[in-house]
Structure 1
Amino acid sequence: MSGPWAFLTVAVGGGIGAAARFWVADTITTRRRSAMPRGTIAVNVLGSFLVGVITGLVLTVGTDAFEPWRLFLATGICGGFTTFSTATVESVTLARGGHPLRALANTLGTLAATVPAVAAGIGVVVMWA
């Protein structure tokens, strides 16, 4: 899949993912005030797990058969849902606000949680296949 349909597929998925990110992160942040940006961490870990699941499906089903869904779900929805740029801005904000250890914990914690989340998503699909 390429061209205008691929663009539209990613654009629609990205809009859905961004709206979902706003809702999930905002819900977590307003329910539980914290010095750490828990909402952003949660969406990045969940989104990374889902990208892993989608990647696992691509590896087991095949790229050609799953390509439109991969574009819509992984590139579109999960791409709009996850937000590593916001995580970076939040780390810089923490550091500039006099909390360098929290900034470091946010940066390293995000990486330490999201990479295994992708692996876990792939592992779940591979185990079921």
Structure 2
Amino acid sequence: MGTWWLVAAGGALGGMARLAVSELTARRVGTGFPWGTLAVNLSGAFAAGVLAGLLGMPHGELSPAPAWLGLVVGGLGGYTTVSSLSLQTLALWQSGRTHAALANLGATLGAGLTLAALGWWLGGVAV
């Protein structure tokens, strides 16, 4: 039961951090493009990579380490968001902003994978 509390606490903190970063980003660069969600998802991908490098990624274990559960599953699971990415991309597409919709997906997936790999490498170097 203790691991459930780690995930719940991490998820609550991650969700609050997501709101703060999204709002701060929107205030700084505007709302014409989902910059806040992009900032959240890219920083979350980088953080996940760093934590994977530092903690090691669980490979099919039934019970990953408590730090992994609290920080990655809970914290970054609550922080990053595929649902916002999906809905904002759909809204761009439906409003006729096809290039912006594709750019949103491409930037999130391409840069996200790159940042996760960079974070993993940096996290592994730090160990």
**TM-score, scaled relative to structure 1:** 0.88
How many residues are matched? Answer: 122
Conserved in 1, the CA contact under 8 Å of 2:54 and 2:126?
no
Quick one: which of 43, 46, 59 aligns to 1:49? Answer: 46
What CA distance in whole angstroms lies between the structure 2 residues aligned with 1:80 and 1:42? 14
> As a proportion of its length, which structure holds more helix?
1
- Residue 10 of structure 1 pairs with residue 15 of structure 2: no
**RMSD across aligned C-alpha pairs, in angstroms?**
1.6
> Separation in 2 of the partners of 1:30 and 1:105?
21
Q: Percent identity?
A: 34
Gapped regions of structure 2 (runs ≥ 5): none
Q: What is the one-letter code of the residue matched to 2:34?
A: P
Residues in 2 aligned to 1:13 and 1:77: alpha-carbon distance in whole angstroms? 4
1:68 maps to 66
1:103 has 2:101 as partner: yes
In structure 1, runs of 5+ residues without a counterpart are none
Q: Alpha-carbon deviation of 1:30?
A: 1.9
Secondary structure of the residue aligned to 1:35 is coil
